[in-house]
Chain A
Amino acid sequence: MPSTDGASGGTECFSVRRDVLVCLAILLTAPVARAEQHQPLGIGRPPTAQEIGAVDIDIAPDGTGLPAGQGSVAAGAVLFAAKCAACHGAHGEVGDDSPVPKLAGGQDTLATAKPLKTVGSYWPYATTLFDYIRRAMPLNAPQTLDADQTYAIAAFVLKLNGVVGDDAVLDAHTLPAVRMPNRDGFIRTPNQPGS
């Protein structure tokens, strides 16, 4: 540095040295920062099939995820009376909108001043019924129903709505094939992500 006198010279000198240090620091740390963004951090581990299986309970509208097994309307009637009727009534007729919704009826009411949103009048997919019963019902013992029981109760609720007949048997093939009355009743909101 040529300047040797006064505060300004000292400051300049310090400033240059600081710049060099900053440059060195960038050169040394930049590769590390880049590596952190593009290489594995090594956090977490691959889950086992058992760990995934314990929580992988979702059902897609095309039936993906439905388990083996089957259930009839007749079997569902017995199960519904034992496990569901205490809150929902013998025919799904008990309840308001919340917390216990009516399960049946209400078709052709959606455009009226008093719409009744039920499985039969509102739900667009039958797969949702299986998914929801298995993950959240019955309220006093969620995630305890097996596949056969879940198919059977879903069959009974659909029968209450006249969506399937008295002799219907649901399984991984017949359940996704059920066409719900309000299948085309939903509009994906414009300008929303994913729409």
Chain B
Amino acid sequence: MTIQRRRLLRDGAFMAAAIGASRSAAVGQDIDPESPPWVHEQGAPVLSPPYGNPSPFEKSVIRRTRVASAIPSVASSLTPLQDLHGIITPGGLHYERHHAGVPAIDPALHRLIVHGLVERPLIFTVDDLLRFPSVSRTMFLECSGNSPLWKSVPEAWTVQITHGLLSCSEWTGVRVADILDQTGLRPNAKWALAEGADAAAMTRSIPIETLLSEAIIAYAQNGERLRPEQGYPIRLLLPGFEGNTNVKWLRRLKIGTDPWETREETSKYTDLLPGGKARQFAFVMEVKSVITAPSGGQSIATRGFQELRGLAWSGRGRVVRVEVSSDGGTTWQDAALQEPVLSKCLTRFRLPWRWDGQPQHLLSRATDETGAVQPTRDTLLAARGANSYYHYNAIHGWRIRRDGVLLSAA
């Protein structure tokens, strides 16, 4: 044994090289499945690499764009919902929406200023914020531009394209209420301006009661510090509110009496109605669901048993019910909800199902704890017209052809 160990130590460098060579050769090579090389040799050593990556066989599980933006820093990318399990989105797959790209912020130089109608304006370093009592919350984020299906429902769109501006993380940070407890608020404090440190100095006006209830300034996501795309070193989080109000790279909270009517709450992120007026400050993402497996663009290879899986969520609270139809909405069946079912968080639903080789039309319909039921596309369009652009939450699904191919269908 000692001889073997000495030999191992002596040959360590050689062994590492051999392992590396063998592993790279193994991918994509003709392999005897009854005697694969990975049972006959040591696997890769620890720390290869120090920050781990997904298996090389999972290379297709990536964010994608719906259309190539003429200005790639002013764009969005979508989470591959069809490839994910459970409710947590890995940090590197969280959807992106940037208004001026991803700033490369040195946390030592970043500051948060809280001023305006406060008793004591304060400036904080990131290390200052880490000293506050911390809080963690698992919650979804959804861009209000998710599911742009107002004008048409393109049948070739996958769930990544139709619903991928949606992700869910465990966020950790400081209660905004705790910070405002330090600054104090003047009696006439009603709204706050949240501003980012990106090259758009992204700004949204937020009701003060929202900041005092559930708002968090997060510095961590799924156990690690925020990803740069998600606001490193700090971002605002408003559970249930449309994505863009959760201002990334947060540098300032200014307290005031009225909204600032910024570009992002007038020109953008307002819902144009049929009469020509527009809904403004429609912050809350309403109850919604989608079947992720099987889903658009996939092909069912074999008849018989398969589990239907999907996600449901509501910016108003907990999901209490998800129903699934396989006949285009004529009959519905309750799906099982995976615990924990959390408020303003993604909820995984499941239903045993068989494909009989016949055409089917799968749909899902969620209900939240306020009693709100996800509307049909016809109902939503009747209420909002086709030019709203934001806050589409209609029932969506997939038409299965006789050959097993799934196509997007309302």
Contact = CB atoms under 8 A, between A and B. Distances in A.
A binds B: yes
Chain B: number of interface residues, binned into ranges: 35 or more
Contacts of B254: 56, 58
B279 interface: yes
B121 A123 contact: no
A70 interface: no
A30 interface: no
A51 B111 contact: yes
Contacts of A131: 203, 260, 262-263
Contacts of A117: 267, 272
Interface residues of A, number: 49
Given A186-B266, A193-B283, A143 B209 contact: no
B132 A43 contact: yes
Contact of B278 (A55, A139, A187, A195): A187
Given A44-B124, A46-B123, A61 B199 contact: no
Interface in A35-68: 37, 40-41, 43-47, 51-52, 55-61
Contact of B199 (A110, A119, A124, A136): A136
A125 interface: yes
A64 to B, nearest CB: 9
B45 interface: no
A45 B122 contact: yes
B272 A99 contact: no
Instruction: Name A's interface SS.
Output: loop
A127 B258 CA distance: 14
B281 A195 contact: yes
B281 A98 contact: no
Interface in A124-150: 124-125, 127-128, 131-132, 135-136, 139, 142-143
A111 B274 contact: yes
A192 to B, nearest CB: 5
Interface in A142-191: 142-143, 185-189
Contacts of A119: 267
Nearest to B206: A194
Interface of B: 69-71, 74-75, 99-100, 111, 113, 115, 120-124, 128-129, 131-132, 181-182, 190-191, 193, 195, 199-201, 203, 206-210, 251-252, 254, 256, 258-263, 266-267, 270, 272-284, 386-387
Instruction: Please list the 10 inter-chain residue pairs (A to B) with the smallest Cβ-Cβ separation, ordered nearest first.
Output: A194-B207, A111-B276, A47-B123, A99-B74, A110-B276, A135-B201, A44-B122, A193-B207, A132-B263, A186-B280
